[in-house]
Amino acid sequence: MPTVTFESLDPTPYQRAPRGNIRSILSLARALAELAPREESPTVERTAAGLEQMIAEAEDGLTVRRRESAPTDSSDDLALDGCADALWAVLRNGLEALASFDHPGLDVVLATHGTPSPVATAVHDGQQQAARARALAGRLFGTEGLAFTQRSYAEQVQSMGAILRVIDQDGLAGELDALLGPHLLVTLRACQAEYATMVESRLSRDDRKSTDLAQLRGRLQRAISRYCSAVLTLLDEDQPGTLTQVLTALRPVDVHRAQRGSRSTTAASGADDDTDDDDDDDDAPREGAEAAAAAPAG
């Protein structure tokens, strides 16, 4: 590599905003701040102080983003949804099971045992229950059945609430209790209250990032450019030592550019490129609650 002289030195690469994601630029800024010749010029001292302030802001921003990027625990939501699905299945399938007493094959049983017999009485009672159960199943679930349990949480809570309102407003609770036992509706109502609270909490959750890393990166880039421009003002051809001093102070810029050039070459050859010119990697979507919110509830 040829020796750099005052005549051959090109200041442009040092004055240009460095490229890269916020983490690589932050590392560059830290290295520059460590080598800053602050005592040589008030301008260098001032721009180095500004650079350090931006370093602190960028580090705080990355810390906040790290906390915000932690996945939200949605296990309770999933457990509650599974419980609701199971309870509604008990209600609907229980009615369907009772309705099986309408099966025509029971006529053969009745023919064998005769009308005045315990079997006939049991079958008759079962057939009466079957008619009531079939009517209730159609009234509450229609042709949809349990399809609502496969929809989003927000849709499912409305479907469940509508069924419970039909039960209450049409006075069907006593009949359901008689057919399936008194514990099911009590549990379904309690589950509905918890489910509604869960949905409201998810809908009101603010998942916006509080820190704009792209903005922070831009400010950090400008702080580096201002600092490097200030260091370049130390060049004085009447004092040859200033060239070495400036090149030493700005050496991290050369290393940063060389590393990016090496990664770009690697990417061109087909390997993974880690240049990350934008902040997509910093703003990667979180997994967990957000993914679950987009997925069907069932």
- Specify the pLDDT at position 26: 95
Neighbours of 36 (CB within 10 A): 19
Instruction: Output DSSP code: residue 160.
Output: H
Instruction: Output DSSP code: residue 149.
Output: G
The pLDDT tens digits of the residues spanning 143-155 come to 999 999 999 999 9
Q: Are 45 and 262 in contact (CB under 8 A)?
A: no
Beta strands in the chain (DSSP E): none
- Specify the pLDDT at position 273: 40
The pLDDT tens digits of the residues spanning 220-264 come to 999 999 999 999 999 999 999 999 999 999 999 999 999 888 776
In the chain, % of residues over pLDDT 70: 77
The tokens describing 160, both together, are 């469940």
Any residues with CB less than 8 A from the CB of 106 and at least 6 apart, and which? Answer: 123, 126, 127
Average model confidence (pLDDT) across the chain: 83
Residue 209: alpha-carbon gap to chain centroid: 11
pLDDT over 60 (residue 286) = no
What pTM value is reported for the model?
Answer: 0.53
- Specify the pLDDT at position 49: 96
Beta strands in 155-283 (DSSP E): none
The pLDDT tens digits of the residues spanning 38-81 come to 999 999 999 999 999 999 999 999 998 888 777 777 789 999 99
pLDDT over 50 (residue 19) = yes
What gap in Å lies between CA 18 and CA 26, rounded to an integer? 10
What gap in Å lies between CA 84 and CA 91, rounded to an integer? 11
The tokens describing 187, both together, are 């549990």
- Specify the pLDDT at position 290: 36
What gap in Å lies between CA 282 and CA 211, rounded to an integer? 11
List the Cα angle 213/218/222 in 5-degree steps.
145
Residue 158's nearest CA partner among 177, 144, 174 is 144
Q: Are 33 and 52 in contact (CB under 8 A)?
A: yes
pLDDT over 70 (residue 280) = no
- Specify the pLDDT at position 230: 96
pLDDT band (50, 70, 90) for residue 103: low
- Specify the pLDDT at position 136: 94
- Specify the pLDDT at position 129: 80
The tokens describing 293, both together, are 């919110």
Alpha helices in 36-152 (DSSP H): 42-68, 75-98, 106-113, 118-141
Q: When comparing pLDDT for 263 and 175, which is higher?
A: 175
Of 13-27, 51-65, 168-182, 193-207, minimum mean pLDDT range: 193-207
Neighbours of 23 (CB within 10 A): 16
- Specify the pLDDT at position 271: 39
What gap in Å lies between CA 218 and CA 54, rounded to an integer? 10
State phi, psi for 93 to the nearest 5 degrees.
Answer: -70, -30
The pLDDT tens digits of the residues spanning 255-279 come to 999 988 877 655 554 433 443 444 4
In the chain, % of residues over pLDDT 90: 61
Q: Are 134 and 180 in contact (CB under 8 A)?
A: no
